[in-house]
């Protein structure tokens, strides 16, 4: 990353398909913020059952995609190489709109507190500038 290139999510995260819910990192300031996108094609494993005839992205997966985005912000900081940020909690969660197949979820997490053991982040997921979900995320850092 020292050359200014933004890494792929799999360069930072241990997550892999089918549970990698972040296609691309679009902005990264190590230890401060991360932004990215998740493009929902409709072929994802959860859409057939949530809901038949009216596919909708589950809110918990929206939160997880935000957590993965925040984890990229943490793990891009050299102080946390080899660590694993685990989602410890969420508060002030609000779902503002449905997200459906064919939409791109824009994800942004600003890390508001970061220590050697834990942290917090303000997270927003949106579609075309319209907020779909917002939350405060808390995480702990485990040894990798």
Domains (ranges, CATH) in the chain?
9-143 (3.10.129.10)
Q: What confidence score (pLDDT) does residue 57 get? A: 98
Q: Locate all alpha helices (DSSP H) within the chain, ordered by sequence.
A: 9-12, 59-75
Mean of the pLDDT values across residues 33-60?
97
The tally of CA atoms less than 13 A away on the side-chain side of residue 117 is: 0
Q: Note the pTM of the prediction, 2 decimals.
A: 0.96
Q: What is the average pLDDT score of the chain?
A: 96
Report which DSSP code applies to 5: P
Over range 3-24, report the average pLDDT: 94
pLDDT for 4 beyond 90: no
CA Rg value for the chain: 15
pLDDT at 8: 97
Average pLDDT over residues 15-33: 97
Q: How far apart are CA 71 and CA 132, in angstroms?
A: 20
Inform me whether the pLDDT recorded for 2 exceeds 60. Answer: no
Residue 1 has pLDDT above 70, yes or no: no
User: Of the candidates 4, 12, 60, which has an alpha carbon nearest to the alpha carbon of residue 36?
Assistant: 12
Out of 7, 23, 50, 118, pick the active-site residue: 50
Does residue 50 carry a catalytic annotation?
Answer: yes
CB 141 within 8 A of CB 80: yes
């Amino acid at each position: 990353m020292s050359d200014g290139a933004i890494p792929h999510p799999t360069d930072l995260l241990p997550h892999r398909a089918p549970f990698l819910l972040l296609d691309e990192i679009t902005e990264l300031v190590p230890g401060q913020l991360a932004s990215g996108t998740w493009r929902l094609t409709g072929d994802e494993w959860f859409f057939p059952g949530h809901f038949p005839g009216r596919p909708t992205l589950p809110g918990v997966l929206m939160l997880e995609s935000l957590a993965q985005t925040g984890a990229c912000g943490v793990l891009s900081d050299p102080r946390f190489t080899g660590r694993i940020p685990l989602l410890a909690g969420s508060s002030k969660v609000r779902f503002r709109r449905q997200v459906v197949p064919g939409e791109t979820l824009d994800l942004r997490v600003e890390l508001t507190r970061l220590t050697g053991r834990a942290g917090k982040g303000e997270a927003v997921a949106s579609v075309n500038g319209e907020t779909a979900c917002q939350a405060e995320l808390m995480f702990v850092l485990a040894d990798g």
